[in-house]
Amino acid sequence: MTVKNSISRRATKAADPSDRVFTALVGAASTLVVALLVGFILLLVLDSTDSIRRFGLGFLAGSKWNPVKTEINPIVFGALPYIFGTIVTSLIALVLATPLALGSAIFVSEYAPSWLGKPVAFVIELLVAIPSVAYGVWGLFVLVPIMRNDVEPFLQATIGKIPILGALVAGPPFGQDLLTGGVVLAIMILPTILSLSREIIAQVPRLQKEGMLALGATKWEVLSKAVLPYARGGIVGASMLGLARAIGETMAVTMVIGNSSTRISPSILTPGYTIASAIANQFTEADSPVYFSAIVELGLVLLLVASVFNIGSRVLVGRIAKREGGADA
């Protein structure tokens, strides 16, 4: 028992009894959350036992997803194309959304006059509340034709001409592919990253900024030397929250990604598939036990992918915070 612990104990004893009730309540609440997660994982593992036993690691490494036994093709489930699609679309979304979100967060909180900044921030926060199926319908009917007719041919005419990089945009432009999935996701996670970054930038102590200005720094210098270093950890955290949303997003992506798991190719213009869309598409009609089990295992894999990203981002935020600490000292 440490000194700190005994002090806090004594403090609790001395306090009002209502304090104890409250402690119990919040304790129970957090226990319940943890219990829910544990129960959730247990159920996923239990229901996917069939598939885990039958396919083992092949489930993660295999790229054939065949629910029907035929003369030459056995029933086999390999989730690699889904995992690949999930990671690629989420990364595209992150790469596209972060600079945009950060740019407008800086504009809204540092450059725009408050009569402009406040309503803009409000509108952006409204965007978070739009249901994802609405993004999907918009994506299918507005974005897909633009991607197919304008953006993708343009990419092929520019990047496509560069050796090696050209492979990224090879193949016929369908408009329904990993890139379009990523763009829809970017639009969806943009408001999340933006509103969080804006809050974080607003938290930068006034004194630091004013100090810089008093030293004769330009606006850019204030931003790059005082604001951004202070907010860096938070901004990375905001992007990671956006990424988490992108990984689990289902409906909007399903409607524009092409839902094809036939091949994994380096080109982002290939129709793809994400784990979440595979679950949404196939769950209701997964009519054999092993098929059902494989779909549940997909859920488990999705949880795994999300956890890996989450832990990765924790480490990243931690490193940044440490480096800042070092710089300050």
Partner 1 sequence: MKKTFILLSCLFIVAAGIGAQGKAGLGLIKSGDPNEAKNLTGAGGTFPAVLYTKWFAEYAKLTGVQVNYQSIGSGGGIKSISDMTVDFGASDGPMTDDQLAAAKGGKIFHIPTAMGAVVPTFNIPELGKDTLRFTADTISAIYLGDIIKWNDDKLVADNPKLKNVDKYIVVVHRSDGSGTTNIWTSYLTAVSDKWAKAVGAANSVQWPVGLGGKGNEGVAGNVKQTPYSIGYVEEAYAVQNKLPVGLVKNKSGKYPVPTTSAVTMAAQGVVLPDDLRVKVVNSDNPEAYPVVGFTWILAYQQQTDPAKALALTRLLWWATHDAQSYNAGLEYAPLAPDVVKKAETLIKAIQVNGMQALPATISK
CB burial string 89-113: b at 16+ within 10 A, e below? bbbbbbebbbeebbebbbebbbebe
List the one residue out of 314, 328, 329, 298 whose CA is nearest residue 80.
298
Stretch that binds partner 1, among 85-93, 168-176, 206-214, 227-235 (CB under 8 A): 168-176
**Residues 128-147: x where in contact with partner 1 by CB under 8 A, - otherwise, as a string:** ------------xx--xx--
At a CB cut-off of 8 Å and minimum separation 6, what does 310 contact?
240, 244
Contact flag: residue 176 with partner 1 (CB under 8 A): yes
Q: Which residues contact 237 (CB under 8 A, 6 or more apart)?
A: 196, 313, 317
Instruction: Choose which of 39, 99, 119, 172 interacts with partner 1 (CB under 8 A).
Output: 172
73 contacts partner 1 (rule: CB under 8 A): yes
The answer for residues whose C-beta is within 8 angstroms of residue 236's C-beta and 6 or more apart is 313, 316, 317, 320
Residue 164 in the binding site for partner 1 (CB under 8 A): no
Determine the 3-state secondary structure of 6 from DSSP.
helix
Which residues make beta-bridge pairs with 66? Answer: 76
Which is closer to partner 1, CB of 184 or CB of 190?
Answer: 184
Which parts of 210-239 interact with partner 1 (CB under 8 A)?
none
Tell me whether residue 121 or residue 279 sits nearer to partner 1 (CB atom): 279
Q: How far is the CB of 287 from partner 1 (least distance, A)?
A: 4
Binding mask 33-52 for partner 1 (x = CB under 8 A): --------------------
**Does residue 76 sit in helix, strand or coil?**
strand
Helix, strand, coil proportions of the chain in percent (round to 5)? 75, 0, 20
φ/ψ bin of 216: left (φ > 0), alpha (ψ from -120 to 50), beta (otherwise): left
Q: Which is nearer to partner 1, 161 or 263 (CB)?
A: 263
Pick from 196, 255, 268, 294 the residue near partner 1 by CB under 8 A: 255
Stretch that binds partner 1, among 112-120, 122-130, 180-188, 286-294 (CB under 8 A): 286-294
Of residues 208 and 260, the one with the C-beta less far from partner 1: 260
Q: Residue 288 interacts with partner 1 (CB under 8 A)?
A: yes
217 contacts 131 by C-beta, under 8 angstroms = no
Is 328 a binding residue for partner 1 by CB under 8 A? The answer is no
Which amino acid is located at 321 in the chain? A
Per CB under 8 A, does 156 bind partner 1? no
Q: How far apart are the first and last CA of the chain?
A: 32
CB of 56 to partner 1, least distance (A): 20
Which residues are at the interface with partner 1 (CB under 8 A)? 64-73, 140-141, 144-145, 148, 172, 174-176, 254-255, 258-262, 271, 273, 277, 280-282, 284-289
